[in-house]
Every structure is written in structure tokens, then in C-alpha cells.
Amino acid sequence: MLIGEALALPYYLLLCRSITHAQRMSTLLERSGISAPYYRAPSGLTDRGCSYAVRVGTNHYQTAVQILKAGGLPPMRAFYSAGDGAHREVTI
Amino acid sequence: MIYFDSAATTLQKPASVARAVAEAIGTVTTPGRGDHPAARRAAELMLNCRTEAAELFHVAQPENVIFTSNATHALNIAIKSLVKPGDTVVISGYEHNAVTRPLTAIGDVTVKVVNGRLFDPEQMVDGFVRALTGEVKAAVCTHVSNVFGYALPVREIASLCRKRGIPLIVDASQSAGILPVDVAGWGAAYAAMPGHKGLYGPQGTGLLLCGEGQMPGPLLEGGTGSLSRQQEMPDFLPDRLEAGTHNVHSVAGLLEGIRFVKERGLTRIARQEGELMAALGEGLERLGRFRVFRNRETESSVLSVVPLEEDPEVLAARLAEQDVALRAGLHCAPLAHMTAGTAKTGTVRFSASVFNTMAEVEQVLRLLAAR
């Protein structure tokens, strides 16, 4: 499944520095009741190659970022998508 | 076979370890490469093992648990990250070649050796007090001597190092899975350990535990599945130190070994193994034909003896013919023998695991009594 493919809903992608980082971010958010699957990041989102991203719904974005920062796992960057496949970087 | 060579490698493993390895071989690939189910299962397995190890050894976060091939690999990373040519390093007089050879290989390193008597932790602390002077760039101390089972006063030495701002590397090869290893509490820069001894994992596994704020240098460079356009190794853990495909199948076994240790409990493990070695030591002393190195006040999983009437290698070979496995010689730690005065002959070493029994101890004593 590609990110955003199953449901054409808006979402945020939180970019991770490694798969371990992605796993820990995902686990932390899921334990807080926020659905946060991780995937390999679309190639256009990083100029450094091969990265991972955690996806959260728009209604959980702000809370998710707060939880991750408080948990010592801040995302590297964040992107918004309207569900149309395009991504726009947003300030964390 | 009666197996008393667990300080080298535990032979008997929990059944869950073998099952996990067998299952992993057919179901997992490598984390951080593809994003298919087999790669995802591998990623979950690796993180589970990092997390369990971080909990057991008090490491700040799972990322600071690095998978290595063995303790030697881990020690090489730690030592070569902290020590450069021209530096001065303090080590205990009970270090293994896994410590002394990398220091020699770096070249132009002044090594101050703290030669404390066996089973005299106060003297060892006093020695470190004197040796940890301003020019010292790092200290290395084994937690438990692989030759004599002597538990060095690591907590006190760590405290000294912390107060003086000197990074400490702890070789936990003989203590992991038996005694508490407290990376955060000690404030250690690094702790290194094998997976195949007291953690009951497969050979070819080891862990480097990185203290807070450490950014070690890699021994190997290569693919990590992250930042692939960048030609320098990532500046974050664990990727920085884990180039190339992981030994995931064995990590599956190591994970189950760690779970086995946690479930059984360190106190129970140390007591059981300590009682076995104490009984063996007492029995050997009664035979009157051995110089027995043991501390009567603390438990130990390792017992070394020097036969008074027989070459250690001959004795070990004779017992091997009688289906008793142990080890004779210098145990890759000539420095420890120089410190303890056994460098000429080496020792015969007995070392226990939780799978040994008192009946085995009694059988070994009967064989030795019969000559």
C-alpha cells in the first residue's frame, strides 16, 4: 500500500531519520491512542535518500508532534498532504 | 557431556532460543531495506531485542543498543572511538586481549595498568584513584575477570571516572546475564558484551551499549538503509555502527535468551551458579592437589585452579576424554595471569551456566579424586 492510497483523506507525514526512529515514533503514538503507521518515505520528500515516515491524521497532528517532542523523538520534518499524492512541507 | 566452559560459550541454550532462530530463518529478512512483510518482521524483531536489552542493562534508549558480532567487536568500537595515538589510558590488571590488543594496535598509547590483588576490590579502587590523573583520556575495566571470576568494583571505579570526567568502558563479557549491568547508573561511556555466554544467544552476537551523549566512530562503513545519497555514515545510532546486513536470525535467538534471563532473574542465576562453583571449589580444596582461586565472600560463576601435580592442559585433556568440558591455558587474558601470578602455567577454568547441576559438580569431583 502506498501512503495515502487506501483513503484519499488529508494526512501528515512525519519524517524519521531511520527505521528505528520510525518504529519508536509509531509505538509512542500508538500507545497514546493515535494511529501512526510507518512507511518508507516517498523519494521526493528527502534529498538524502532512503528514509521513513510516520503518517498521522490531520486531527492528531499537533498532539502527535507534542507527544513526540516530549518523548525525545521529535520528527525531522513534517509534510501535509490533501490526499492527492502531493506533499507540502510544514513547520513543526 | 558435563559442560563447565560457559565463560567461553554457553552450550546449552533455552529451547526458545533454538525455536526463534529456526522460525526466523524462514520468515524474516533485513530491517530498513525493503518495506515488505519479511523486512517489517525483521525490523520489529530487532527493535524488540534493543528494547529488552535497554531495559535489562539500563540504557537510556533502544537506539543506543548496537548489535555487534561479539564483545571483541564491541570493545574495538568503543576503544577506537575514545583512544587515539598519543593518549594515556587506564586499565585494570585483569583485562582480556580484546582490550589490550586494540590498545596496542592503535599505537603510541600509554597504558597505565592497575595491578590490584585478586579479590581485593578496595586495593583496586585505590589503584584507580591514583591512576586516573588529568592526562587520562579513557579507562577500561572488566566487570568480572574471565579467568578468576573476580567481580571488580565497577560501580566505585565508574564513580571515580564520572567525577574526573574520564569516559569508562566496561567489559561485561562475564557479567551480562549474571550480575546487574547498569550503564546509566554507572554513567559509563560504553559497555560491551557477547550474546553467546550468559545471555544464552547464538554465537556471532554481541552488544555495544552506548552511554548518553556518546557518538562512536564506525569500524565499518557501508549501507545502512538510511540517508543513502550521503557518502558519510549517518550521525545517529544505531545506523552509524551497523553497516551491512544484520545477523537477524541470531538476534532472534538473542532476544529469547535475554527474555529467559529476565524471566529467571539475575539474583537467582548468580546464586545458582555461585553455589555450584563454591561447592566445586571446596571439593577441590579438600582434594589437596589444587591451588584454588576463589573468593569465599561473593558468588562467582567462574573458578580457576592450578593443579599442583599435573599440567593444566593435560588435566583438561584428561577430563575431556571423560566427557567433561572445561578450558585450560591463559584464556586470552595473559595480563590477568601476570597480575595474579599464574602466567607461567595458566589455569584450569571451570565456569557454570544455569543448566549445570550439583550432581555434575559431584561427578567432576569423583573423577578428579580417582585421578
User: In whole angstroms, what is the distance from residue B205 CA to residue B186 CA?
Assistant: 24
Q: In the prediction, which pLDDT does A3 show?
A: 52
Q: In the prediction, which pLDDT does A1 show?
A: 46
In a domain, A90, yes or no: yes
Closest Cβ opposite residue B225 in set A23, A47, A50: A50
Q: ipTM score of the complex?
A: 0.84
The domains of chain B, with CATH numbers, are 2-10+266-370 (3.90.1150.10), 15-264 (3.40.640.10)
In a domain, A37, yes or no: yes
Furthest CA-CA distance within chain B: 68
Contact A23 B47 (CB under 8 A): yes
Q: What is the pLDDT of residues B80-100, one digit of tens each?
A: 999 999 999 999 999 999 999
Rounded to the nearest 10°, the torsion over CA B359, B342, B149, B106 is: -140
Amino acid identity at A29: L
User: Across residues B316-332, what is the average pLDDT?
Assistant: 96
In A, which residues are within 8 Å of B44 by CB distance?
Answer: 23
In a domain, A16, yes or no: no
CB atoms within 10 A of CB B71: 28
Contact B107, B86 (CB under 8 A): no
Q: If you measure CA to CA, which chain B residue comes closest to A38?
A: B35
Q: If you measure CA to CA, which chain A residue comes closest to B63?
A: A20
In B, which residues are within 8 Å of A39 by CB distance?
Answer: 35
- Across chain B, what does the average pLDDT equal? 97
Q: How confident is the model at residue B26 (pLDDT cuts 50, 70, 90)?
A: very high
CA–centroid distance for B312 within its chain = 24
Which residue range is the domain that position A58 belongs to? 1-11+23-45+52-92
pTM of the model: 0.95
With an 8 Å Cβ cutoff, is A49 touching chain B? yes
Strands A52-57 and B190-194: unpaired
**CATH number assigned to the domain comprising residue A79:** 3.30.70
In a domain, A17, yes or no: no
Cβ within 8 Å of residue B37, ≥6 positions away: none
Contact A24 B44 (CB under 8 A): no
The total of structural domains in chain A comes to 1
* Concatenated DSSP letters of B165-233: T--EEEE-TTTTTTS---HHHHT-SEEEEESSSTT---TT-EEEEEPTT--PPPSS----SSSTT-SSP
Cβ within 8 Å of residue B322, ≥6 positions away: B367
